Amino acid sequence: MKILVTGGTGFIGSHTVVELVKAGFEPVLMDNFDNSQASVLNGLETILGFRPSFYEADCNDAAAFAEIFQKESNIGGVIHFAAHKAVGESVQLPMKYYRNNIGSLLSLLETAKAAGISNLVFSSSCTVYGEPSQLPVDESFPILPAQSPYGNTKQICEEILRDAVASGMDFRVLSLRYFNPIGAHPSAEIGELPIGVPGNLVPFVVQTAAGWRTQLSVFGDDYNTADGTCIRDYIHVVDIAKAHVKAIQYLNSKAEKSLYDWVNLGTGKGSSVLEVVNAFEKVSGQKLNFKIAERRSGDVEKIYASTEKAERVLGWKTELSLEDALADAWRWQQKLGPKLV
Ligand code: WQD
């Protein structure tokens, strides 16, 4: 069965392409290389042994979707990854985020309906929970006002999907709320390559160890946690990718024509920033140059997922550890070689 993967050359998208093929699906990739490189297709070819079907196109372009749905007959589902995702940039350029992240979903929904597509997996985020009142955070927790335009686009997209299904559209939709995806494919053929200075912790850690950055700033050590640094639920991107395969299989297995549900994708285990630094030093054998810096505005103190619903609904749970993810991220970083920019 063909599955359209928007953002197919992106970080989570590319890893999901690999797992889809392993599970017997035929991914069709769509990306405009806004935040990824054409070389990802080479990495995928090396892993898969063939070059996956690819369309260079913008998801805001409804005509592009319509053309793909027409050319690739029998697409059985869509996994919609494509979106802008830099939290800080979204504060500076909110309209860019609203236009792109919401516009692309609308283009997809309008054209997918006409093409008779009935299964859709959407990339959502744990940011919808804000600072939760209790931990672990489960799917019944309320959605809190978003801390950034980026986070708000994820909330609005979830609402759009809920409303589309409630209106009677024949769509089975699952929103997957990611916690902190990190790592790389164990082959080191694909991984995370943020453009410019990374905003996220693990890319910054591995780039510092590789000499691309001089020093990691740990944002705040006066939080109400054991070592004073923030706690997150870091999850290996390959585990996240496998959950998308389970999500498509789950939607395919359903008899009802319309369905909307949402599931957390996390490990259930929280790690502090200093625990990540220590684990990285252990798996890489590198001493990391870091300093304690001011808190970063907008950071929640601690969050980690309840994994019960994902296990119950999808029959999925994580298999890989924080150490696995950091070792794979480091292997990928080393393969990138000297700094390119
Ligand atoms: C993790 C921790 C930082 C960089 C994630 C996603 C993001 C979004 C929301 C996804 C925090 C600390 C970081 C650094 C540091 N949505 N840190 N020094 O903020 O949890 O955001 O969820 O859908 O895209 O990544 O992730 O990796 O930025 O930060 O000390 O240089 O690391 O303060 O405690 P975050 P992150």
pLDDT of 147 reads 87
For residue 144, how far is its CA from the centre of ligand 1 (angstroms)? 18
Nearest Cα residue to atom 30 of ligand 1: 218
Which atom of ligand 1 has the smallest separation from the CA of 86?
24
DSSP code of residue 169: -
pLDDT of 61 reads 96
For residue 38, how far is its CA from the centre of ligand 1 (angstroms)? 26
pTM across the whole model: 0.98
DSSP code of residue 225: S
If we measure between CA atoms, which residue out of 198, 185, 293, 162 comes closest to residue 239? 185
163 CB neighbour count, 10 Å cutoff: 11
> Mutate which of 11, 212, 219 to test ligand 1's pocket (most atoms within 8 Å of Cβ)?
219
Distance CA(232)–CA(293), nearest Å, equals 18
49 CB neighbour count, 10 Å cutoff: 8
Enumerate residues lining ligand 1, CB below 6 A. Answer: 85, 87, 125, 127, 178, 180, 199-201, 204, 216-219, 230, 232, 273, 296, 299
Q: Assess whether 150 carries a catalytic annotation.
A: yes
Distance CA(333)–CA(194), nearest Å, equals 11
CA 47 to the chain's CA centroid: 20
If we measure between CA atoms, which residue out of 305, 93, 288, 325 comes closest to residue 192? 325
The two tokens of residue 129 are 């929970």
- pLDDT 10s per residue in the chain (341 long)? 999 999 999 999 999 999 999 999 999 999 999 999 999 999 999 999 999 999 999 999 999 999 999 999 899 999 999 999 998 899 999 999 999 999 999 999 999 989 999 999 999 999 999 999 999 999 999 999 998 999 999 999 999 999 999 999 899 999 999 999 999 999 999 999 888 899 999 999 999 999 999 999 999 999 999 999 999 999 999 999 999 999 999 999 999 999 999 999 999 999 999 999 999 999 999 999 999 999 998 899 999 999 999 999 999 999 999 999 999 999 999 999 887 65
Distance CA(239)–CA(182), nearest Å, equals 10
CA atoms within 13 A on the CB side of 161: 30
The length of the chain in residues reads: 341
Helix, strand or coil, per DSSP, at residue 28: strand
